[in-house]
Amino acid sequence: MRIPLSWLKEFVDVEAPAGEIAERLTFSGTEVEDIEVVGGGAEQVVVAQVTAVEPLPDDPRLRVCEVEAGGERRLRVVCGAPDVRVGGKYFLVKAGGRLPTGRRIGAEKFGGVESEGMLCAEDELGLSDDHSGLLEVEGDWAPGTPLERVMPPEPVLKVEVTPNRGDCLSVLGIAREVSALYGVPVRLPPADPLAEEEPPVTEYVRVEIEDPGDCPRYTARVLLGLQPGPSPFWMRRRLRLCGLRPISNMVDVTNYVLLECGHPLHAFDLDRLEGGEIRVRRARGGEKIVTIDGVERELDAEVLVIADGRGPVAVAGIMGGQATEIGPETRRVLLESAGFDPVRIRRGTKRLRLASESSYRFERHVDVARVEWASRRAAYLAQRVCGVKAARGVMDVYPRPARPRVVSCRGERVRQLTGIEADDGEIAAVFRALGMQVTREGQELRVTVPTHRADVTAEVDLVEEFARIYGLDRIPTHPPAVPMVGEEASRFDGLERLRRALVGLGLQEAMNYSLVSAELLDELDPDPASRRVRLKNPLSAEQEVLRTSLLPQMVESLALNASRQAAAAALFEIGKVFRGAAEGAVAEEEHVAVGLWGPVGRGVFEQRRPVTPEEAFLRVKGVVEGLLRAMGIREWKVASVDSPVFRRGMGVEISVGEERAGVMGILRPDAAEKRRLAPPPALAELRAEILLRGAESPAAYEPPPQYPGVRRDISFIVAESVKHEDVVRVIENAGPPELARVEVFDIFYSERLGRGKKSMAYSLEYRSRERTLTDEEVNEWLRAAAEALRKELGAVIREGPETA
Amino acid sequence: LHASEHVLRRRATGRKLFHSVGGPTDAGRQGRGKSFIDFAAVRRQFRLHLCVEGAWPGVGGYMQLSEIQAMARKALEEAAAAGTEAELEAVRARYLGRKGRIPALLRELGKAPPELRPQAGRELNRLKAELAELIRQRTAELRRKGEEQRFFDYTLPGDWRGLGTRHPVNRVIVEVVAIFRRLGFAVAEGPDVETEYHNFDALNTPADHPSRDIQDTFYLPGGGLLRTHTSPVQIRYMETHRPPVRVVAPGRCYRRDTPDATHSTNFHQVEGLYVDGRVSLSDLKSDLAFFARELMGAGVRVRFRPHFFPFTEPSVEVDFSCHVCGGRGCRLCKQSGWIEIAGAGMVHPKVLSAVGYDTGKYTGYAFGMGIERIAMILYGVDDIRLFYENDRRFLQQFGW
């Protein structure tokens, strides 16, 4: 909202500069976002009086004017305005001067005549976009008076009013705040005397309110003898300064009062109202109205309307109808000033998708008690600006007059909640400055709240009023007192441990939106679509479903890096996934995703060697195993899984105990190719819950071994399909309790070994807790291992017990 | 003897063999820097060993002990002086090779006078061992010298897989939470999918409040919604805990905002709540002042501006003095000297009533702050979408 400072100062006597007022308003809850100075920056723009006008011979549309502009000689100015006349006073920008809009004017020749300046229309002065004619200077200004003296640059406060303070949505409302802050009284604008004539208003109009819940008060005045035309310059200028477009005198008056007092008014052409009848009621299904913006709108029972004998003539509190609006022929006016239920207006604006300056204020509360006064103020102004007379009296339907609210407030409570040590007298003084009446009753202050403050209903509201006017900067601070020690936060801390472990493993943390497109999930999430939670009101197709897996976006993140010339990426994300559960409930689960692409985890001089899918898989498996160990999990299992996300044969499920802990694998080749991710990335997704459970179990201490271990290598040829897991199982089953470790260290395929064969090499370590082992017993154990491998896996031993 | 002793010692102590190389040269090596052969000591030793009267027939005649002595000196000096591995090899061949002089003398030992034989044999064997050891050491020394002389480019990149990086949003969340935990706050969390009751009703938000609009809030088919702030955690926590309550609640929130440089459909907040017997605005200001100093630096100040939130009364907006310019005005704070950080206030009595707290007995404060906003201020990020894009070039700037 825009508040011209000069207008504000009509209501409060404050000498302070705009900046200081703005600051004090901001720190009392009415934020002044900016101060715009309108009209500054003009150079050599002065009042000029035309002394002669002659047509320009070469161009009949132009005239040569001689003007008196305060200088030693008169100036010659070429002018295109049709309304220029001798004796008229206008603003002249001299050649070489500068307009408030920033435009510079040079000496120009028209039809052989050099113009020494330009006479200005409103648009050229930056006052409006009106270019229909010259702006006449009103008042007794001598030629040569600079523009800045006639129209001083005007500071305009740009104010942001919080939704609870509907009473501040006017110049007067802000003036009340300034009054409280500076301790000066508020001066109301005049509304009297009103020139009235018989017959009384009741002869012209009847008013009926269907439901006072929707419309607690409706007043109507009748104004007679309207001469439609433009409103005076000062009024137009203020409307402009506030961002409103002047329309015509009567409409401008209603808008002026809206800006000034916060009361939205509406002027009907009385002669176009059917049957001199006003009914405030809900619209009926099927009713329509063309509003003054020219749009036909369908109405229903959610919408409150003003109807005449025929049907709706205005959408109550939101916008008038075209059929009854003030036009050039209007002579008799019905002036409406009313109060409407904020909720009803809000429903109406939502239903019609239509908002206005008027509805904005009604939604935030308009002081019903002052409705009649606002009507009088508008009639008073119309009398001066439009030459009207009022029919005697006012139609005022006000079934249940509002009474000022009384709220009690304990000084002790104010001191306790704010921490400010102010005595009751200081507290009461603040309330009085806000226009409240205060009496004392025992330990309590009884505060009568003025009707415009609908937001003050309880003691805490008064605490806030005190704090914000007294000054939040006066709230004392003390060294932080720590009244208790926070308890542990196992989930929060656990996730942070997880994060640190992954960063320690060399991965970069990524973060994606919780909302994704269904299309992406269709492609890269194995879960059935039926378990997805779709928004009722998505903003776009890209973000319409809650994610059920972190992997689809992980793939997209890797692809983004690939598309930006990255050679490799190792990312992880910790975040929630969501699945529909029974009866509309949504299950949330924290997941960890890992995505590796390109030569990651390799040395500096190994970057160019191509990454095979096998290597990529073992890398991500290494990360997953590292993470499991870091989180204190010692045992897990992997099993092949068929998943649309992973390449066939290269997707596995990880389980811890009996529980599914997650999946990992190599991305399906077509999904990778589509995103130009070559070679395909390796992915993993784990349930954080399982990992965090591991972290809770304490690590058991085991003393380091005292006796040396004995290592033996064994290598053998087996069928390609024999798994490492199988080899380890066979060796462990065949081994004595002294078998401490079984580690694979080489695998190779070769023509020499034969088709479908591979060579595997393992390092075995035996160790006893009681003694040093002898070569003989170790060799015996190794022979047993070799025998078991031969028998169970058909292994052909290449190097082992016989060659040792 | 020496060798086995050294090995034993090495096993026992784990020290490098290098340090325990013994024998006659050991004493001389101590305290010397580069060359560990003290030639004077070597000579002293051999003078002792070979200072025996008499002679025995050498190759082609009798060799005096003094000649052996001279040969020993010469051999050791030659070994010590050899400048290349090839020269050393020549020395070795001359004295120790199959046709070398020492083996030849040893073969001839039988011809020596019997009374000299044991001593001469001992001395020759000793010389053989000492010379072999000297040549071995010299070989190693020359090899190492050769290696050390090879050019090494220490400017090559280090080759160890480095640490990854943390996401700036999580960094800020963890830091904010850590600061409040130092002030005795516990951590509380709540679901992203909320009920209308917890997100709005219990927080004193009127049924027709604009924030409930279908335009502003994401709704789910089952009647739930995606929480628009972390404030519902206040309600959930108070529903299950009695005062005193002192918690921070970090979490993800959602708003139906068209994405642009400062808006995102999801973002993060940290909520704070403190309810106890006599909590005041002064406590709020004091705790936030501590927070400001910890987060932004010792000189950062806090100010309150009145504001409006349905769930607090009085409500304030919290500004920190700009940490970049110290409050003098700069680009970051848009010349104001202040940066808006949080919304806060005293918990509205209706909120306390909604969870069954006695409003006569308890008061509390609450605050909430946007994490992306703080991260943008701390790191100078000018587009919120960068946080969700996952470009490595962005992520790697925030470190560990």
**HSE on the CB side for A456, CA within 13 Å?**
24
Structural contact between residues B212 and B356, judged by C-beta atoms closer than 8 angstroms: no
Helices (H), strands (E): how many in chain A?
Answer: 20, 39
Residue B32 clears pLDDT 50, i.e. is over it: no
Among residues B143, B18, B121, B137, which one has the least CA distance to residue B79?
Answer: B137
Q: Cα–Cα distance between A293 and A315 in angstroms, integer?
A: 12
Q: Does A102 touch chain B (CB under 8 A)?
A: no
The series of mean pLDDT values per 10 residues for chain A, 804 residues long, is 94 93 92 87 90 84 89 88 88 90 84 86 80 83 89 90 92 96 94 89 93 95 93 89 91 96 95 91 93 94 93 95 94 96 92 93 93 96 93 94 92 93 94 95 93 93 94 88 66 92 95 96 87 93 95 97 95 96 89 96 90 95 94 91 92 94 96 94 96 71 86 94 94 94 93 90 94 92 94 90 58
When mean pLDDT is compared over A565-579, B84-98, B146-160, the highest value belongs to: A565-579
Instruction: pLDDT band for B7, please (50, 70, 90 cuts).
Output: very low
Predicted confidence at residue B1, as pLDDT, reads: 36
Structure confidence by residue, pLDDT tens digits, B62-74: 556 677 778 888 8
Residue-level pLDDT at B25? 42
pLDDT (0 to 100) of residue A802: 59
Question: In b/e form, how buried is each residue of B358-384, taking b as 16+ CB within 10 angstroms?
Answer: ebeebbbbbbbbbbbbbbbbeeebeeb
Mean pLDDT of chain B: 82
Q: Is B181 on the interface with A (CB under 8 A)?
A: yes
- The answer, for B153 touching chain A at a CB cutoff of 8 Å, is no
- The total of other beta-carbon atoms located within 10 Å of residue A752's CB is 9
pLDDT of residue A693: 85
Per 3-state DSSP, chain B is made up of helix, strand and coil in percentages (nearest 5) of: 45, 20, 35
User: Which has the higher per-residue pLDDT, B239 or A528?
Assistant: B239
Report phi then psi at A141, rounded to 5. Answer: -90, 135
* pLDDT value at B58 more than 60: no
Note whether A288 and A298 are within 8 A (CB): yes
Statement: residue B13 has pLDDT above 50: no
Both structure tokens of B161:
């897989």
Six-digit token pair at B36?
A: 């560990």
Tell me, yes or no, if A572 comes closer than 8 A to chain B by beta carbon.
Answer: yes
- State both tokens at A287: 């009713």
Say whether residue A483 is in contact with chain B using an 8 A CB cutoff.
yes
Tokens, residue A682: 């390796």
Q: What is the pLDDT of residue B101?
A: 84
Alpha-helical runs (H) found in chain B: 2-13, 24-29, 39-50, 65-81, 85-95, 101-107, 117-149, 168-182, 196-199, 232-240, 281-296, 349-354, 371-379, 392-395
Decide if A492 and B187 are in contact by the 8 Å CB cutoff: yes
Nearest to A417 among B187, B305, B363 (CB): B363
Of A132-146, B108-122, B357-371, give the lowest mean pLDDT range: B108-122
* Contacts of residue B136, Cβ cutoff 8 Å, sequence gap at least 6: none
Number of helical (H) and strand (E) elements in chain B, helices listed first: 14, 11
H or E element at residue A619? helix A613-630
Contacts of A557 in chain B (CB under 8 A): 390
**Predicted confidence band at B10 (pLDDT cuts at 50, 70, 90)?**
very low
Task: Assess B357–A contact: CB distance below 8 Å, yes or no.
Answer: no
Answer whether B193 touches A (CB < 8 Å). yes
Model confidence band, residue B29 (pLDDT cutoffs 50, 70, 90): very low
Query: Does the beta-carbon distance from A416 to B278 stay under 8 Å?
Result: yes
Q: Give me the amino acid identity at B38.
A: D
B58 near B108, Cβ under 8 Å?
Answer: yes
Q: Which of A419, A570, A586 sits opposite B280 (nearest CB)?
A: A419
The better pLDDT of the pair A590, B6 is held by A590
B255 touches chain A (CB under 8 A): no
Average pLDDT, integer, range B203-208: 87
The closest CB to that of B282, out of A28, A477, A496, belongs to A477
A464 burial via Cβ count (<10 Å: 0-12, 13-18, 19+): buried
The pLDDT of residue B40 is 54
Q: Rounded to whole angstroms, how far apart are CA atoms A153 and A41?
A: 8
Q: Give the pLDDT of residue A194.
A: 86
Interfacial A residues in 502-541 facing B (CB < 8 Å): 502-515, 533-539
Question: Quick one: pLDDT at residue A2?
Answer: 94
Q: Which residue has the higher pLDDT, B210 or B390?
A: B390
**Chain B, nearest residue to A417 by Cα:** B280
Cβ neighbours of residue A221 closer than 8 Å, sequence gap 6 or more: A201, A334, A335, A337, A375, A376, A378, A379, A390, A391, A394, A395
CB contact under 8 A, A508 and B219: no
